[in-house]
Structure 1
Amino acid sequence: MARHDAQNWHDCSKMIGLLCLVASIVLQHGVSGQRVKVEPEVLSYPGQTVNLRCAFTDATGIQLTMVTWIYEPKDGERINIAVFLPNYDPNYPDSPVKGRVSFAPSPPNVVSPSIEISNVGMTDEGKYICEYATYPSGNEQGITHLVMLAKPQNSASVVTVVAGSKSVVVARCESVDGRPPAKISWVTAVNGNGTTVTKPGADNTVTVISEYRMVPSPKDNGKDLSCVVAHRTQVKPESFPLKLAVEYAPQVTIVGYDNNWYVGRTNVALTCQATGNPTPLTAQWKTMTGEMPDTVQITENVLKVLKVDDAVNTTFVCQVKNRIGLGRDQVAVTVREPSVNPSNAGVVAGAVIGSLLALLLVAALIAVLITRSRRQQQGYRANDGSDMKTRMFGGGKKASKNGTGGGNGSGVGVGGGNNNMPIYVYDQGSSHPGLGEKNNHHQPLTMGGVATTPTAQDILLSNELDDGERRKFDELEEDERYDNFTGGAPILQLRPPHDQDDIIGDYMDDDMESQRDGSVISRTAVYV
Structure 2
Amino acid sequence: MERSPDARNRLACTKMTGLLCLVVTVCLLAHGASGQKVKVEPEVSSYPGQTVNLRCEFRDAAGVQLTMVTWIYEPKDGERMNIAVFHPNFEPNYPESPMKGRVSFSDNPPTLTSPSIQITNVRMTDEGKYICEYATYPSGNEQGITYLVMLAKPQNAASTVTVEAGPTKQVVARCESLNGRPAAEISWVTTAKGNATVVSKAGADNTVSVTSEYVLVPTAADNGKDISCVVQHRTQDKPESLAMKLVIQYPPEVSIVGYDNNWYVGRTNVVLTCEAKGNPLPASILWRAMSGEMPDTVQVKDNTLKVLKVDDAVNTTFVCEVKSRIGVGKDQVTVFVREPKVDPSNAGVVAGAVIGSLLALLLVAALIAVLVTRSRRQQQGYRANGGSDMKTRIFGGGKKASKNGTSGGAGTGANNNGPIYVYNESSSHQGLGDKNNHNPSLNIGGRPEGGPTTHSAQDILLSQELDDAERRKFDELEEDERYDHFGGGAPILQLRPHDQDHIMGDYLDDDMESQRDGSVISRTAVYV
- CA distance in 1: counterparts of 2:484 and 2:108, whole angstroms: 149
Alignment partner, residue 9 of structure 1: none
The question of 1:298 aligning with 2:265 is answered no
- CA distance in 2: counterparts of 1:433 and 1:309, whole angstroms: 88
Q: 1:490 aligns with which of 485, 488, 493?
A: 493
Is the CA contact (8 Å cut-off) linking 1:251 and 1:274 kept in structure 2? yes
Alignment partner, residue 406 of structure 2: none
Paired residues in the alignment total 424
Percentage identity across aligned positions?
57
Alignment partner, residue 320 of structure 1: 322
- CA distance in 2: counterparts of 1:248 and 1:161, whole angstroms: 9
The question of 1:381 aligning with 2:390 is answered no
Q: How big is the shift at 1:353?
A: 4.8
Alignment partner, residue 505 of structure 2: 508
Deviations 1:131-187 (A, max 9, x none): 111111111000011111111111111011112222221111000111111111222
Q: How big is the shift at 1:90?
A: 2.0
Deviations 1:347-371 (A, max 9, x none): 2464135413541575378558857
Distance of aligned partners of 1:68 and 1:519 in 2 relative to their CA distance in 1, 3 Å threshold:
same
Q: How big is the shift at 1:337?
A: 2.6
The residue type paired with residue 490 of structure 1 is: L
Distance of aligned partners of 1:373 and 1:238 in 2 relative to their CA distance in 1, 3 Å threshold:
farther
Q: How big is the shift at 1:334?
A: 2.3
The residue type paired with residue 116 of structure 1 is: Q
Q: How big is the shift at 1:344?
A: 4.5
- CA distance in 2: counterparts of 1:34 and 1:392, whole angstroms: 157
Deviations 1:56-107 (A, max 9, x none): 1110111111111111100011111111222433222221112222222332
The residue type paired with residue 222 of structure 1 is: G
User: TM-score of the superposition, structure 1-length normalised?
Assistant: 0.69
Alignment partner, residue 248 of structure 1: 250
SS at match of 1:508: helix
Alignment partner, residue 351 of structure 1: 352
Matches within 5 A, 1:88-107: 88-107=90-109
SS at match of 2:287: strand
- CA distance in 1: counterparts of 2:320 and 2:438, whole angstroms: 111
Q: How big is the shift at 1:459?
A: 5.5
- CA distance in 1: counterparts of 2:319 and 2:440, whole angstroms: 113
- CA distance in 1: counterparts of 2:337 and 2:439, whole angstroms: 99
- CA distance in 2: counterparts of 1:161 and 1:338, whole angstroms: 52
Q: 2:265 aligns with which of 263, 268, 274?
A: 263
Alignment partner, residue 133 of structure 1: 135
Q: How big is the shift at 1:269?
A: 1.6
Deviations 1:227-264 (A, max 9, x none): 12111222322222221111111111112222222222
Alignment partner, residue 440 of structure 1: none
The question of 1:220 aligning with 2:225 is answered no
Distance of aligned partners of 1:56 and 1:432 in 2 relative to their CA distance in 1, 3 Å threshold:
closer
- CA distance in 1: counterparts of 2:68 and 2:491, whole angstroms: 158
The question of 1:390 aligning with 2:392 is answered no
Distance of aligned partners of 1:459 and 1:203 in 2 relative to their CA distance in 1, 3 Å threshold:
farther
* Structure 1 unmatched ranges of 5 or more: 1-25, 394-411, 416-421, 438-446, 463-484, 494-503, 522-528
Is the CA contact (8 Å cut-off) linking 2:395 and 2:508 kept in structure 1? no
Alignment partner, residue 171 of structure 1: 173
RMSD of the alignment, in Å? 4.3
- CA distance in 1: counterparts of 2:30 and 2:276, whole angstroms: 83
Is the CA contact (8 Å cut-off) linking 1:392 and 1:490 kept in structure 2? no
* Structure 2 unmatched ranges of 5 or more: 1-27, 386-391, 399-413, 424-435, 446-452, 459-478, 513-521
Is the CA contact (8 Å cut-off) linking 2:494 and 2:524 kept in structure 1? no
Deviates more, 1:207-216 or 1:348-357: 348-357
Distance of aligned partners of 1:432 and 1:353 in 2 relative to their CA distance in 1, 3 Å threshold:
closer
Is the CA contact (8 Å cut-off) linking 2:161 and 2:172 kept in structure 1? yes
Alignment partner, residue 444 of structure 1: none
Is the CA contact (8 Å cut-off) linking 1:131 and 1:141 kept in structure 2? yes
- CA distance in 2: counterparts of 1:168 and 1:28, whole angstroms: 52
- CA distance in 1: counterparts of 2:194 and 2:367, whole angstroms: 88
Q: 2:339 aligns with which of 328, 337, 340?
A: 337
Matches within 5 A, 1:191-210: 191-210=193-212
Deviations 1:2-61 (A, max 9, x none): xxxxxxxxxxxxxxxxxxxxxxxx999848841111111112121222111111111011
SS at match of 2:221: helix
- CA distance in 2: counterparts of 1:323 and 1:107, whole angstroms: 79
User: TM-score of the superposition, structure 2-length normalised?
Assistant: 0.69
Alignment partner, residue 40 of structure 2: 38
Deviations 1:451-504 (A, max 9, x none): 89x9758859x9xxxxxxxxxxxxxxxxxxxxxx9x9962599xxxxxxxxxx9
Q: How big is the shift at 1:191?
A: 2.6
Matches within 5 A, 1:154-169: 154-169=156-171
Is the CA contact (8 Å cut-off) linking 1:430 and 1:449 kept in structure 2? yes
Q: How big is the shift at 1:197?
A: 1.3
Deviations 1:426-462 (A, max 9, x none): 899999967869xxxxxxxxx948689x9758859x9
The residue type paired with residue 356 of structure 1 is: S
Is the CA contact (8 Å cut-off) linking 2:128 and 2:147 kept in structure 1? yes
- CA distance in 1: counterparts of 2:147 and 2:210, whole angstroms: 24
- CA distance in 2: counterparts of 1:432 and 1:324, whole angstroms: 119
- CA distance in 1: counterparts of 2:366 and 2:505, whole angstroms: 30
SS at match of 1:262: coil
- CA distance in 1: counterparts of 2:509 and 2:415, whole angstroms: 10
Deviates more, 1:328-337 or 1:124-133: 328-337
- CA distance in 2: counterparts of 1:372 and 1:120, whole angstroms: 131
SS at match of 1:261: coil
